[in-house]
Amino acid sequence: MTQLPIAAFIAAARSGRLISFPTDTVPALAARPDQASQIFAAKQRQPDKPLILMGASPEALWPYVRGNEQETRQWQQMAADYWPGALTLVLPACDRVPPAMNPLNPDSIGIRVPNSKVAQMILQQTGPLATTSINRSGQPALTNVQDINQHFPEVFTPLANLWPEPQSSDPLPSTVTKWTGQGWEVLRQGAVQI
């Protein structure tokens, strides 16, 4: 059984194992950033689809990006307007980000703070994690813990009482917007309208 009490679940995440937990969009498949290659392997995902770094707060994520003072102010304003929430900001990465997070473009990283108390509680204890939706590449995202445990038996999940009731409609993924150096470019329209 891959479902664990929360303390054992956090310990598994910290030790570098693959985990899944609910977020404000679809459930995440996650690992420590230095273990990001495990996510690509589990999903059978192509390296041209980068992972995002999810954190419990903006302050946990800013150390992973690099920009000048003016850019940083604009990024922080965008974060203040939309976080926590379903918005991923793609920003220039600093050298703290393992290249495995974005194999074809290690100079950039997507970051997000989910609007989910469960996700934030987990991320406060693990630190920022490499994340994506939990599904085989090209398949629909799995949305409940039973399906996740069935399709990904190697992935640890917290006990079912931490999972919200499944939504009746398909949850939208996060909106992804990239910093161009001059402003923002929406790469994927999702749950948040920019």
* Dihedral over Cα of 171, 79, 103, 13: its sign: negative
Q: What is the pLDDT averaged over residues 147-153?
A: 94
Residue 167 has pLDDT above 60, yes or no: no
Confirm if 53 and 130 have CB atoms less than 8 A apart.
yes
As a whole number, the mean pLDDT across the chain is 93
pLDDT at 170: 66
**DSSP 8-state code for residue 151:** H
Residue 147 has pLDDT above 60, yes or no: yes
pLDDT digits (tens, 9 = 90+) for 102-123: 999 999 999 999 999 999 999 9
Query: Which residues have CB under 8 Å from 117's CB, separation 6+?
Result: none
Q: How far apart are CA 113 and CA 77, in angstroms?
A: 14
Task: Collapse the DSSP code of 148 into the 3-class scheme (helix H, G, I; strand E, B; otherwise coil) and give the result.
Answer: helix
In sequence order, which ranges of 35-116 are alpha helices (DSSP H)? 36-43, 58-61, 69-82
Query: Rounded to the nearest 5°, which phi and psi values hold at 127?
Result: 85, 175
Exposure class string for 154-171: b at 16+ Cβ within 10 A, else e:
ebbbbeeebbeeeeeeeb
pLDDT digits (tens, 9 = 90+) for 45-88: 999 999 999 999 999 999 999 999 999 999 999 999 999 999 99
Write the DSSP assignment of 82-103 as a string of letters.
H-SSSEEEEEEB-TTS-GGGST
Q: How far apart are CA 60 and CA 45, in angstroms?
A: 27
Distances (CA, A) of 118 to 23, 106, 138, 146: 7, 29, 27, 18
The pTM assigned to this predicted structure is: 0.94
